[in-house]
Structure 1
Amino acid sequence: MILPVLFIAPSDFRGRGVYTSEPIPKGTVIEIAPVLVLSKDERAAVETTSLYNYIFEWDDAGGACVALGYVSIYNHSYHSNCEYDMDYESQLITIRTVRPVAKGEELFINYNADADNETPVWFEAN
Protein backbone atom coordinates (compact mmCIF):
# COMPACT_ATOMS: atom_id res chain seq x y z
CA MET A 1 0.00 0.00 0.00
CA ILE A 2 1.35 3.38 -1.07
CA LEU A 3 -0.79 6.47 -0.58
CA PRO A 4 -1.72 7.79 -4.03
CA VAL A 5 -0.54 11.31 -3.06
CA LEU A 6 3.10 10.13 -2.93
CA PHE A 7 5.43 10.52 -5.88
CA ILE A 8 9.14 10.26 -6.66
CA ALA A 9 11.02 13.30 -7.97
CA PRO A 10 14.56 14.72 -8.02
CA SER A 11 15.77 15.72 -4.55
CA ASP A 12 17.97 18.62 -3.51
CA PHE A 13 19.51 16.27 -0.94
CA ARG A 14 20.47 13.03 -2.75
CA GLY A 15 19.38 11.87 -6.19
CA ARG A 16 15.67 11.18 -5.96
CA GLY A 17 13.24 11.43 -3.06
CA VAL A 18 9.63 10.78 -2.09
CA TYR A 19 7.24 13.75 -2.03
CA THR A 20 3.56 14.40 -1.37
CA SER A 21 1.09 16.18 -3.65
CA GLU A 22 -1.27 16.84 -0.70
CA PRO A 23 -0.85 17.73 3.00
CA ILE A 24 -0.55 14.67 5.26
CA PRO A 25 -1.51 14.74 8.97
CA LYS A 26 0.78 13.50 11.74
CA GLY A 27 0.42 9.78 12.44
CA THR A 28 -0.69 8.82 8.92
CA VAL A 29 0.49 5.49 7.53
CA ILE A 30 1.73 6.45 4.09
CA GLU A 31 3.22 3.14 2.98
CA ILE A 32 3.26 -0.54 3.91
CA ALA A 33 5.83 -2.41 1.85
CA PRO A 34 6.90 -6.04 1.64
CA VAL A 35 10.58 -6.86 2.05
CA LEU A 36 12.89 -9.50 0.67
CA VAL A 37 14.87 -10.92 3.59
CA LEU A 38 18.55 -11.66 2.99
CA SER A 39 20.65 -14.10 5.00
CA LYS A 40 24.02 -13.00 6.36
CA ASP A 41 25.76 -14.57 3.34
CA GLU A 42 23.35 -12.96 0.86
CA ARG A 43 23.83 -9.62 2.61
CA ALA A 44 27.60 -9.92 2.23
CA ALA A 45 27.17 -10.46 -1.52
CA VAL A 46 24.76 -7.51 -1.85
CA GLU A 47 27.17 -5.25 0.02
CA THR A 48 29.57 -5.55 -2.92
CA THR A 49 26.97 -4.03 -5.27
CA SER A 50 25.19 -0.70 -5.71
CA LEU A 51 22.32 -2.09 -3.63
CA TYR A 52 24.50 -1.66 -0.50
CA ASN A 53 23.07 1.81 0.18
CA TYR A 54 19.48 0.58 -0.10
CA ILE A 55 19.32 -2.37 2.30
CA PHE A 56 18.03 -2.31 5.88
CA GLU A 57 19.33 -4.16 8.94
CA TRP A 58 16.85 -6.95 9.59
CA ASP A 59 17.87 -9.38 12.33
CA ASP A 60 20.42 -10.06 15.05
CA ALA A 61 22.05 -12.77 12.90
CA GLY A 62 23.58 -10.25 10.47
CA GLY A 63 20.79 -10.42 7.92
CA ALA A 64 19.29 -7.55 5.99
CA CYS A 65 16.33 -6.84 3.78
CA VAL A 66 15.55 -5.13 0.50
CA ALA A 67 12.37 -3.10 0.85
CA LEU A 68 10.03 -2.91 -2.11
CA GLY A 69 7.72 -0.01 -2.94
CA TYR A 70 9.16 3.47 -2.32
CA VAL A 71 10.84 2.60 1.00
CA SER A 72 14.41 2.58 -0.33
CA ILE A 73 13.91 5.98 -2.01
CA TYR A 74 13.14 7.97 1.18
CA ASN A 75 16.16 10.13 1.99
CA HIS A 76 17.74 10.40 5.44
CA SER A 77 17.29 13.21 7.95
CA TYR A 78 18.25 13.18 11.63
CA HIS A 79 15.04 15.15 12.23
CA SER A 80 12.78 13.27 9.84
CA ASN A 81 9.09 13.84 9.19
CA CYS A 82 8.45 10.08 8.97
CA GLU A 83 9.54 6.93 10.77
CA TYR A 84 9.59 3.30 9.81
CA ASP A 85 8.53 0.21 11.70
CA MET A 86 9.56 -3.34 10.85
CA ASP A 87 7.13 -6.22 11.16
CA TYR A 88 9.48 -9.21 11.22
CA GLU A 89 6.76 -11.85 11.29
CA SER A 90 4.90 -10.48 8.25
CA GLN A 91 8.08 -9.23 6.55
CA LEU A 92 6.78 -5.69 6.09
CA ILE A 93 8.04 -2.15 6.65
CA THR A 94 5.49 0.56 7.51
CA ILE A 95 6.21 4.26 6.97
CA ARG A 96 4.26 6.73 9.15
CA THR A 97 4.41 10.52 9.48
CA VAL A 98 5.66 11.85 12.83
CA ARG A 99 4.50 15.41 12.21
CA PRO A 100 2.20 17.14 9.69
CA VAL A 101 3.71 17.23 6.20
CA ALA A 102 2.95 20.06 3.77
CA LYS A 103 1.95 19.68 0.13
CA GLY A 104 5.09 19.38 -2.02
CA GLU A 105 7.36 18.55 0.94
CA GLU A 106 9.95 15.80 0.68
CA LEU A 107 9.40 12.88 3.05
CA PHE A 108 12.38 11.75 5.11
CA ILE A 109 13.14 8.84 7.42
CA ASN A 110 15.97 8.65 9.92
CA TYR A 111 18.11 5.71 8.84
CA ASN A 112 18.83 5.08 12.54
CA ALA A 113 15.15 4.00 12.89
CA ASP A 114 14.29 6.69 15.47
CA ALA A 115 12.99 10.04 14.19
CA ASP A 116 15.49 12.17 16.18
CA ASN A 117 18.44 9.76 16.66
CA GLU A 118 21.59 11.71 15.69
CA THR A 119 24.05 8.78 15.65
CA PRO A 120 26.12 9.27 12.45
CA VAL A 121 24.90 7.00 9.64
CA TRP A 122 27.38 4.97 7.57
CA PHE A 123 27.77 7.44 4.70
CA GLU A 124 28.50 10.34 7.07
CA ALA A 125 30.65 8.40 9.55
CA ASN A 126 33.38 7.64 6.98
Structure 2
Amino acid sequence: MDSLVIEPYSQKITGSSGLYVADAGPKGRGVFAGRAFRKGEVIEKCPIIPWEAPELYRLSGHLLERYVFLWDRRKKSLAVVLGYGSLYNHSFEPNCSYSRQIKNQLIVFKARVPIQAHEELTIHYGPSAESFHKIP
Protein backbone atom coordinates (compact mmCIF):
# COMPACT_ATOMS: atom_id res chain seq x y z
CA MET A 1 0.00 0.00 0.00
CA ASP A 2 1.33 3.45 -0.90
CA SER A 3 1.71 5.93 1.94
CA LEU A 4 -0.09 9.24 1.67
CA VAL A 5 2.21 12.24 1.31
CA ILE A 6 0.74 15.58 2.37
CA GLU A 7 2.40 18.83 1.38
CA PRO A 8 0.76 21.26 3.83
CA TYR A 9 2.10 24.51 2.39
CA SER A 10 1.71 23.81 -1.31
CA GLN A 11 -1.74 25.39 -1.58
CA LYS A 12 -3.28 28.62 -0.44
CA ILE A 13 -6.14 28.09 2.04
CA THR A 14 -8.67 30.92 1.79
CA GLY A 15 -11.51 31.66 4.20
CA SER A 16 -14.62 33.76 3.85
CA SER A 17 -12.92 36.57 5.80
CA GLY A 18 -10.57 37.31 2.90
CA LEU A 19 -7.60 36.12 4.92
CA TYR A 20 -5.62 33.16 3.70
CA VAL A 21 -2.94 30.75 4.88
CA ALA A 22 0.03 30.19 2.61
CA ASP A 23 3.74 29.40 2.62
CA ALA A 24 5.65 32.00 4.65
CA GLY A 25 9.12 30.76 3.73
CA PRO A 26 11.33 29.56 6.58
CA LYS A 27 8.53 30.23 9.10
CA GLY A 28 6.29 27.58 7.52
CA ARG A 29 2.67 28.60 7.17
CA GLY A 30 1.52 32.15 7.70
CA VAL A 31 -1.64 34.21 7.59
CA PHE A 32 -1.88 36.76 4.77
CA ALA A 33 -4.22 39.65 4.01
CA GLY A 34 -6.54 39.00 1.08
CA ARG A 35 -7.16 42.76 0.89
CA ALA A 36 -5.69 45.98 2.30
CA PHE A 37 -6.44 46.99 5.92
CA ARG A 38 -6.35 50.49 7.40
CA LYS A 39 -4.45 51.20 10.62
CA GLY A 40 -6.73 50.32 13.55
CA GLU A 41 -9.10 48.22 11.44
CA VAL A 42 -10.30 44.91 12.89
CA ILE A 43 -8.82 42.07 10.88
CA GLU A 44 -10.34 39.10 12.66
CA LYS A 45 -12.38 38.21 15.76
CA CYS A 46 -11.52 34.70 16.88
CA PRO A 47 -13.36 32.54 19.41
CA ILE A 48 -11.14 30.59 21.78
CA ILE A 49 -11.08 27.24 23.56
CA PRO A 50 -9.74 27.82 27.09
CA TRP A 51 -7.22 25.47 28.73
CA GLU A 52 -7.38 25.68 32.50
CA ALA A 53 -4.30 25.55 34.74
CA PRO A 54 -4.42 21.81 35.65
CA GLU A 55 -4.53 20.86 31.96
CA LEU A 56 -1.52 22.99 31.00
CA TYR A 57 1.00 20.35 32.01
CA ARG A 58 -0.42 18.04 29.35
CA LEU A 59 0.73 20.52 26.68
CA SER A 60 4.36 20.51 27.75
CA GLY A 61 6.44 19.27 24.83
CA HIS A 62 3.35 18.78 22.64
CA LEU A 63 3.13 20.37 19.18
CA LEU A 64 -0.03 22.21 20.27
CA GLU A 65 2.05 24.08 22.85
CA ARG A 66 3.38 26.26 19.99
CA TYR A 67 -0.13 27.40 19.04
CA VAL A 68 -1.70 28.53 22.32
CA PHE A 69 -2.01 32.00 23.81
CA LEU A 70 -1.79 33.18 27.40
CA TRP A 71 -5.46 33.72 28.21
CA ASP A 72 -6.50 34.69 31.72
CA ARG A 73 -3.49 35.67 33.81
CA ARG A 74 -5.46 35.46 37.07
CA LYS A 75 -6.34 31.82 36.41
CA LYS A 76 -3.02 31.10 34.65
CA SER A 77 -4.93 29.66 31.71
CA LEU A 78 -4.12 29.31 28.03
CA ALA A 79 -6.35 29.27 24.96
CA VAL A 80 -6.41 27.66 21.56
CA VAL A 81 -7.48 30.42 19.19
CA LEU A 82 -9.83 29.38 16.40
CA GLY A 83 -10.15 31.03 13.01
CA TYR A 84 -6.66 31.90 11.78
CA GLY A 85 -5.60 33.28 15.18
CA SER A 86 -3.22 30.52 16.24
CA LEU A 87 -1.43 30.67 12.87
CA TYR A 88 -0.22 34.30 12.89
CA ASN A 89 3.59 34.30 12.88
CA HIS A 90 5.80 36.25 15.25
CA SER A 91 7.62 39.45 14.43
CA PHE A 92 9.58 41.87 16.61
CA GLU A 93 7.98 44.58 14.46
CA PRO A 94 4.45 43.19 13.99
CA ASN A 95 1.86 44.76 11.75
CA CYS A 96 -1.01 43.48 13.94
CA SER A 97 -1.91 43.68 17.61
CA TYR A 98 -4.42 41.64 19.54
CA SER A 99 -6.54 42.03 22.62
CA ARG A 100 -8.31 39.43 24.69
CA GLN A 101 -12.00 39.72 25.55
CA ILE A 102 -12.05 37.37 28.54
CA LYS A 103 -15.82 37.47 29.17
CA ASN A 104 -16.70 36.96 25.49
CA GLN A 105 -13.96 34.34 24.99
CA LEU A 106 -12.65 36.18 21.93
CA ILE A 107 -9.32 37.49 20.67
CA VAL A 108 -9.54 40.51 18.38
CA PHE A 109 -6.74 41.18 15.89
CA LYS A 110 -6.27 44.72 14.55
CA ALA A 111 -3.94 46.38 12.07
CA ARG A 112 -1.20 48.36 13.86
CA VAL A 113 -0.16 49.97 10.59
CA PRO A 114 -1.67 50.09 7.10
CA ILE A 115 -1.43 46.58 5.61
CA GLN A 116 -1.32 45.87 1.89
CA ALA A 117 -3.14 43.01 0.16
CA HIS A 118 -1.07 39.78 0.24
CA GLU A 119 1.15 41.04 3.07
CA GLU A 120 1.81 38.53 5.85
CA LEU A 121 0.01 39.34 9.11
CA THR A 122 2.29 39.14 12.15
CA ILE A 123 2.01 39.60 15.91
CA HIS A 124 4.51 39.83 18.74
CA TYR A 125 4.64 36.68 20.89
CA GLY A 126 5.52 36.73 24.54
CA PRO A 127 4.14 37.81 27.90
CA SER A 128 3.71 41.42 26.79
CA ALA A 129 2.61 40.61 23.28
CA GLU A 130 -0.82 42.21 23.15
CA SER A 131 -1.25 45.87 22.34
CA PHE A 132 1.51 46.96 24.72
CA HIS A 133 4.04 47.69 21.97
CA LYS A 134 3.28 51.12 20.57
CA ILE A 135 4.36 52.32 17.17
CA PRO A 136 5.95 55.79 17.34
- Report the TM-score range of the alignment, normalised by the length of the smaller protein: 0.7 to 0.9
Displacement of 1:38 after TM fit?
A: 0.8
Matched residue of 2:121: which SS? strand
Does structure 1 retain, via aligned residues, the 8 Å contact 2:91–2:124? yes
- The percent identity for this pair of structures is 34
Unaligned runs of 5+ in 1: 118-126
Misfit runs of 4+, over 4 Å: none
Superposition map of 1:67-78 within 5 A: 67-78=81-92
Query: If you compute each CA radius of gyration, which structure gives the higher value, 1 or 2?
Result: 2
Q: Is 1:50 the counterpart of 2:55 in the alignment?
A: no
Matched residue of 1:100: which SS? coil
**What is the TM-score of this pair, normalised by structure 1?**
0.84
Matched residue of 1:94: which SS? strand
Structure 2 distance, partners of 1:105, 1:116, is 20
**What is the TM-score of this pair, normalised by structure 2?**
0.78
The residue aligned with 1:14 is 27
Does structure 2 retain, via aligned residues, the 8 Å contact 1:79–1:115? no
Distance 1:79 1:30, change over 3 A: same
Which whole-Å deviations, capped at 9, do the CAs of 1:27-70 have from their partners, x for residues lacking one? 11111011111111111112231101111111223211111110
CA-based RMSD: 1.7
| Count of residues paired in the alignment | 116
Letter in 1 for 2:60: E
Distance 1:7 1:115, change over 3 A: farther
Unaligned runs of 5+ in 2: 1-14
